[in-house]
Amino acid sequence: AQSVTQLDSQVPVFEEAPVELRCNYSSSVSVYLFWYVQYPNQGLQLLLKYLSGSTLVKGINGFEAEFNKSQTSFHLRKPSVHISDTAEYFCAVSDPRARGGKLIFGQGTELSVKP
């Protein structure tokens, strides 16, 4: 069975500093990978996705993620964060060959950007 582990539940960082949110997954098959952001009292918004092709994926709001198959990781990075990036971030994985195509979500990482 697939699982997703987000290695940090909370990440505090100062404005304009770089940030990395870590995500590891367990799967014996090829997967699709996603990062979502949730601002307070809102639904989840897709930041970026990896389906195939280049392992470096660029998303919205200056975020990018790198798919590393050998390490089964999909870490999210941003070179310089803003106060407005304060939110909860979720990593998710799906198996394109599985029935129903469910997404398996990690527990989330709270990013807190301080001035």
Partner 1 sequence: NAGVTQTPKFQVLKTGQSMTLQCAQDMNHNSMYWYRQDPGMGLRLIYYSASEGTTDKGEVPNGYNVSRLNKREFSLRLESAAPSQTSVYFCASAPEPSYEQYFGPGTRLTVT
Per CB under 8 A, residues contacting partner 1 are 32, 34, 36, 41-46, 49, 51, 90, 94-96, 98-103, 105-108
Judged by beta carbon, residue 19 or residue 57, the one nearer partner 1 is: 57
Distance CA 36, CA 61 (A): 12
Taking the complex as a whole, the smallest distance from the CB of residue 104 to partner 1 amounts, in Å, to 9
Decide: helix, strand or coil at residue 115. Answer: coil
Taking the complex as a whole, the smallest distance from the CB of residue 79 to partner 1 amounts, in Å, to 24
Judged by beta carbon, residue 17 or residue 98, the one nearer partner 1 is: 98
Taking the complex as a whole, the smallest distance from the CB of residue 58 to partner 1 amounts, in Å, to 15
CA angle 113, 59, 16 (to 5 degrees): 25
Please name the residue that has the structure tokens 């971030």: 89
Cβ(17)–Cβ(80) below 8 Å: yes
Decide: helix, strand or coil at residue 62. Answer: helix
Taking the complex as a whole, the smallest distance from the CB of residue 109 to partner 1 amounts, in Å, to 11
Decide: helix, strand or coil at residue 84. Answer: helix
Judged by beta carbon, residue 58 or residue 80, the one nearer partner 1 is: 58
